[in-house]
Amino acid sequence: MAEASITFHDLHPTADDLASDVLAGFSRPQKSIPPKYFYDAEGSRLFDAITELPEYYPTRTEMAMLRKYADEIAQKAGTGHLLVEPGSGSCGKARILFEGLQPCAYIPMDISGDHLRVAAEAVAADYPWLEVHAACTDFTRLMTLPPSSPEGRRLAFFPGSSIGNFDPDRAVGFLRMIAEMVGPGGQLLIGVDLKKERRILEAAYNDAQGVTAAFNLNLLTRINRELGADFDLAQWRHRAFYNQAEGRIEMHLVSRVDQLVRLAGHTFAFAEGETIHTENSYKYSVEEFRDVAARAGFTTDTVWTDDDNLFSLHLLQTEVTNEE
């Protein structure tokens, strides 16, 4: 039996600076906090709980599509690639593809080194035939592959509609980085949440159990703990709505009263009803996303959607150049 093969590479992601990001966000007319700060230990636990909620359809719909179309994806994409997954988390979705795609190596990338190591070791143990080269990096800034990665055609995998958390122009910029990383003739399989009825979209971000509200409010708990701020959580509430003109779900924290908050030597005044904008989650029609992909240099090979038209999977490729 083949030996599990794994290498771990710390590509030294630049540490996030919560204090300067929050101070910058609070100095704008619409106060905001970057959504990357949702994911401390408690936030990551709450996000996992969100993915299991009856109202939050994206995760289970995408998983079902990956299972249903795994063979077809392999037929279209081919086999034997270097499979690169930026933001791999627990690698659960990539596992669905391994048997069909038979990658020559799997390169999970994540900023959270501990989580990455555990997830990558579990993959290596469960798929002893697969070379795993884990890369601890901030893939939004740097998409360099570990030096030991084998040569080969590259297929990037970016599921979960995480692309929706970028503004469209930034999404194009991020996809360009992927296009450059996979190179000419390289491919990308990406999951994208579709535009749909407001009722379904808004329910997904306003679940009955209040898990999404807890996820949103946890940002304030984190800022209290890490920056010594004095947010009184009882004076804030969660709000999420679909902004149709922008084609996005917006999440906000709403101040219930006029109040002052002290944070890192500064005092911020919040009026009753004033909000802190915490996240955008853009939704795309198939055609709109095809356009975003084209702006980044990708052509669309195949698009799969589920029977209820909730979610889409796009297989994209970059042009093959004939350099002499």
Which positions touch ligand AVI (CB under 6 A)? 50, 160-162, 164-165, 205, 212, 279, 281
Give the C-alpha distances (Å, rounded to integers) separating 221 from 4, 44, 49, 145, 218. 40, 14, 18, 35, 5
The smaller minimum CB distance to ligand AVI, of residues 205 and 311, is found at 205
Q: To the nearest whole angstrom, how small is the minimum distance from the Cβ of residue 204 to ligand AVI?
A: 7
- In whole angstroms, the minimum distance from the beta carbon of 324 to ligand AVI comes to 42
Burial profile 56-94: b = 16 or more Cβ within 10 angstroms, e = fewer:
bbbbebbbebbeebbeebbeebeeebbbbbbbbbbbebb
CB of 95 to ligand AVI, least distance (A): 19
Q: Least distance from C-beta 62 to ligand AVI, angstroms? A: 10
Nearer residue to ligand AVI within complex by CB, 212 or 275: 212
Q: Tell me whether residue 85 or residue 279 sits nearer to ligand AVI (CB atom).
A: 279
Q: Which is nearer to ligand AVI, 160 or 186 (CB)?
A: 160
Measured over the CA atoms of residue 68, residue 205, residue 89 and residue 290, the dihedral's sign is positive
Q: Which residue is nearest to ligand AVI (CB)?
A: 281
C-alpha distances in angstroms, 229 versus 17, 49, 113, 159?
15, 27, 27, 35
CB of 93 to ligand AVI, least distance (A): 12
Whole-number minimum distance, CB 18 to ligand AVI, in Å? 19
**CB of 158 or CB of 304, closer to ligand AVI:** 158
In this structure, what is the dihedral angle of CA atoms 117, 123, 128, 129, given to the nearest 10 degrees? -110
We find the least distance from the C-beta atom of residue 167 to ligand AVI, in angstroms, to be 13
| Joined tokens for residue 127 | 């798929």
Q: Which alpha helices (H) appear in 90-167, and where do they start and end?
A: 92-101, 113-126
Lookup result for tokens 């077809």? 72
Q: Determine phi and psi for 134, rounding to 5 degrees.
A: -85, 140
As measured in angstroms, the least distance from the Cβ of 215 to ligand AVI is: 6
Q: Mind giving me the DSSP string for 174-197? A: HHHHHHHHH-TT-EEEEEEEBP--
**Which residue's CB is nearer to ligand AVI, number 162 or number 218?**
162
Question: Residue 82 or residue 111: which is nearer to ligand AVI going by CB?
Answer: 111
Q: CA-CA distance, 223 to 19, in Å (whole number)?
A: 8
Cβ closest to ligand AVI, residue 63 vs residue 264: 63
With a CB cutoff of 8 Å and minimum separation 6, the contacts of 125 are 4
